[in-house]
Amino acid sequence: MTKLERLKGISLFSSFRDEESMLKEIEEIVQEKKYPAHCYIINEGEVGTNMFILSKGNVRVEKKTLLGDSFPVVNLSADMNVFFGEMALLDNDQRSASVFTLTETECYLIDKHDFDDFCFNKPYIGYQIIRQIATSLAGKLRKTTHDSLILIQALCCDNI
């Protein structure tokens, strides 16, 4: 699959699926990077500056417990058309999870500095991408809130 074909399948760029010229502009700021099997692409707690699009391979997203133990959250594969680390395009905060390669992996990276320049020079495209990031994060926040309510009910309210 070409880089352009991969970008077409990523939800962040859904506004441009039929606009190949705009996808080609996005493609210009996308870098490729390969990772061996069994290494960390992202480490929870580190400050990150890249967003990743999984192009080839399989990875595991991990979180740390309050005691510092890692536990698996989800396994992702390239055929799922997934991205991760997108918050790094918006802020300069620490990574909220780790990402570990299960196989040899290839990712497409978008660097925060390149993305900021891109948004300044191509505000319409940048706005659409940021809007999709916000939509994705809002969905994750809603799910987290729902999951928290279920946990609270299970821990506190079953005895009522």
DSSP string spanning 58-106?
A: EEEEEEE-TTS-EEEEEEEEGGG--EE-GGGGT---B-SSEEEESS-EE
Give residue-wise pLDDT tens across range 100-127.
Answer: 999 999 999 999 999 999 999 999 999 9
Helix (H/G/I), strand (E/B), else coil: 108: strand
Task: Determine the Cα–Cα distance for residues 24 and 62; give it in Å rounded to an integer.
Answer: 33
User: DSSP labels for 28-47?
Assistant: TTEEEEEE-SS-EEE-TTSB
Q: Is the pLDDT of residue 91 over 60?
A: yes
pTM of this structure: 0.88
> What percent of the chain is modeled with pLDDT above 90?
75
Are 62 and 70 in contact by the 8 Å Cβ rule? The answer is: yes
Are 101 and 38 in contact by the 8 Å Cβ rule? The answer is: yes
Task: Determine the Cα–Cα distance for residues 65 and 74; give it in Å rounded to an integer.
Answer: 15
Higher pLDDT, 35 or 2: 35
Helix (H) or strand (E) holding 26, with range, is helix 20-27
Which residue in this structure is represented by tokens 């510092």? 68
- For residue 17, the model assigns a pLDDT of 84
